[in-house]
Every structure is written in C-alpha cells, then in structure tokens.
Amino acid sequence: MSEWNAELLWKLRADMVLMRVFEEKAGQMYGLRKIGGFCHLYNGQEAIAAGFASVMDYAKDYVLTGYRDHGHALAAGMEPKAIMAELYGKVTGCSRGKGGSMHMFDAQRHFLGGNGIVGAQIPVAAGVAFAQKYRKTGGATVVYFGDGAIHQGAFHEAMNLAKIWKLPLVSVCENNQWGMGTSWKRVSSVDDFSIMATAYGMRGELVDGMDVLEVRDAALRALAEAREGHPVLIEARTYRYKGHSMSDPQKYRTRDEVDEYKKQDPILILETRMKEEKLWDNAKAEAQDRAAEEATKEAVEFAENSAEPALHTLYEDIYAGEPFFMAPSGQPV
C-alpha cells in the first residue's frame, strides 16, 4: 500500500463519484424524457474506467469503448457539459447531437467512441494500435467491451491480429455479468474470460473490477507490456446496478442480487481502504460530492440552455471532402 498516496486516492474517488452522480442525473433526465433512445448507465462499474484513466497518457494513448460510454468519456477528461448536451441531442454536444448516448467522441482527448455494435470497436482499436506501432509513437490503446462482446468474432479476430503484429493493445472485458438479460454463465464456455488470452499466446489477467486500486495495478502492468508490443487481455469482474438500458425492467435478476453487489460498491471499497490508511477526511469527501453534484447540475443547465441543431446540419459531418447526396429531396430545410 505504500505506493498509494493520498492525492491519488482522492482523485480516484472524485472521478468515480462524478461518474456516479452524473449517471444518476442522466437516469433522472431520461425519466423526464429529456434524453431519448437507448441510455446505458455505468453505475457499479466506475472503478474500471477510473483505474485505467489514472495511468494512461492521453497525449499518446487512445481509448475506445462500447455503448456504455458516459463513464469512460468522463474518465478521459471530457467535459460533463459536452456529454450531457450530447445526451440531450443538442448542437453543443461532443458529437453535435449526431451521436447521442452511445456515441461520445473527443478527438482532443483521444476518446474514439462510443460504439453501438457489440464488439465492433475491438478490431478498430487494434487498428489504432497498429498506427501507433507504425508511427512508433510509444502510445498504447485501451479498448473496453462487455461480457457479451467477448463471444463476437470481432474480438477473436482482433486478438489474433494484435498478437501476430505485436500491437500495443490492452483489451478490457468489463464483465458486469449480464449481457442484456442473459447471465454470462449461460453463454460462456469458460468461467474466467482472462484464460481466453492463452488461445492467442497473450497474457490474461482476472482482476476485481470493483477495486479501483487493483484495477489501477493491473492497468499499469498491462500498459507497460502493451507498449513493448505484448498485447494483454484483462477481465475486470464487476456488476452493473442499473438495467442494461433505461428501458430494461430487469425481470431476469432479483433485487437481493443487486443489493448484495452494492455492498461491494467500488466507491465504498475505496473509502474503506482510505479509512484503514487513515487518509479519510469527511469534509473533503463532502466537498468532492458537492463538486460532482455542481458539475452535473451545470451540465444539465448547459444542455437545457443549448440550442437544438439547425435542420441544415443534418447534411453535415458525413464526408470530409466535398459533400454530395444521392437523389436530394430538393426540399430546402
């Protein structure tokens, strides 16, 4: 424990609290129909995004993830305002209201989405890692996906490519134990996803995804190896508190199961550790909570007060070159 300094632990706590508070608010705003479509919340899984983000070098590293992306976007340092405005579909959103909940992007923060097709981001991430190796940037790419995605061919094809081309790729399976409404145990040939790494001659590691310090440790090891051309697979065992998306009635699991996991809450675990280490400070914790609530409140106000995208913007952001349209309607918008 000697390596943990107080500043780091408070930072990890602040990051996780912001994710939790932001997602609670996103859920509320969804209930008020301010946010539409699919909205997949990250509650319960915060330690994974926070742990990795704490060791990444965003000047040269990249992140890709699936559709449960709000927490990862926050962890990458994206503005809560830009994320909330995107959830609202406003033109001030990070993707100008074109992407929504599942498609947060930020080129400056090296956050490459926000992908809605289960597992499709994994080969794309291998390509980002390929470019890093080709250009000898020293950077690595971290790609997150769920326990549902790991059975996609895209995952297996990408692992093989990452290994044969020695790509600086860290693949993180966030096993929240429910692929939508299907228990991972019912659809997996193995009870530990990290052993799938052996099929590709890679190192795999199972980590407690509820313990941010364990995640951080694993991330440090994995990134160091990846930068040397040894891709790594990590299973971070976690649990999502909310439904698959906001429209999920969750009839496939019991309230008791969810409550049981909430006793192993990642924020609670870190706080307990901080108290054991005599680093706890009630006033500081309350100040962090207030800061997260304030940032979220400001994000909502920003989103509420932002303009809807003008209709003509529907013709924008499709081609980098000269735009064109097949059979244009001829109806000026």
Looking at the Cβ atoms of 79 and 106, the one nearer to another protein is 106
Q: Is residue 171 close enough to count as binding another protein by CB under 8 A?
A: no
Shortest Å, Cβ 168 to another protein: 12
Q: Is residue 106 close enough to count as binding another protein by CB under 8 A?
A: yes
Q: Is residue 196 close enough to count as binding another protein by CB under 8 A?
A: no
Shortest Å, Cβ 134 to another protein: 6
Shortest Å, Cβ 110 to another protein: 9
201: left (phi over 0), alpha (psi -120 to 50) or beta: left
What residues from 74 to 103 belong to the interface with another protein (CB under 8 A)? Answer: 93-99, 103
Cα(122)–Cα(113) distance, rounded to whole angstroms? 11
Residues β-bridged to residue 233: 171, 204
DSSP string, 36-67: -S-----TT-HHHHHHHHTT--TTT-EEEE-S
Cα(87)–Cα(98) distance, rounded to whole angstroms? 10
Cα(269)–Cα(286) distance, rounded to whole angstroms? 17
Shortest Å, Cβ 213 to another protein: 31
**Strand ranges (DSSP E) for the chain?**
62-65, 111-114, 141-146, 169-175, 178-179, 182-183, 203-208, 232-237
Q: Is residue 135 close enough to count as binding another protein by CB under 8 A?
A: yes
Q: Is residue 327 close enough to count as binding another protein by CB under 8 A?
A: yes
Q: Is residue 134 close enough to count as binding another protein by CB under 8 A?
A: yes
Looking at the Cβ atoms of 115 and 194, the one nearer to another protein is 115
3 state SS of 214: helix
The label of the residue with tokens 């250009």 reads: 135
Q: How many residues bind another protein (CB under 8 A)?
A: 51
Looking at the Cβ atoms of 97 and 148, the one nearer to another protein is 97
Q: Is residue 324 close enough to count as binding another protein by CB under 8 A?
A: yes
| Contacting range for another protein; rule: CB under 8 A; set: 21-29, 35-43, 160-168, 292-300 | 160-168
Cα(235)–Cα(196) distance, rounded to whole angstroms? 10
Chosen residue from 185, 321, 329, 331 binding another protein by CB under 8 A: 321
Shortest Å, Cβ 195 to another protein: 21
The label of the residue with tokens 């929504």 reads: 100
Cβ atoms within 10 A of the Cβ of 262, count?
13
Q: What does the binding site for another protein look like in residue numbers (CB under 8 A)?
A: 62, 64, 93-99, 103, 105-107, 112-117, 120, 122-132, 134-135, 153-154, 157-158, 160-161, 164-165, 316-321, 324-327
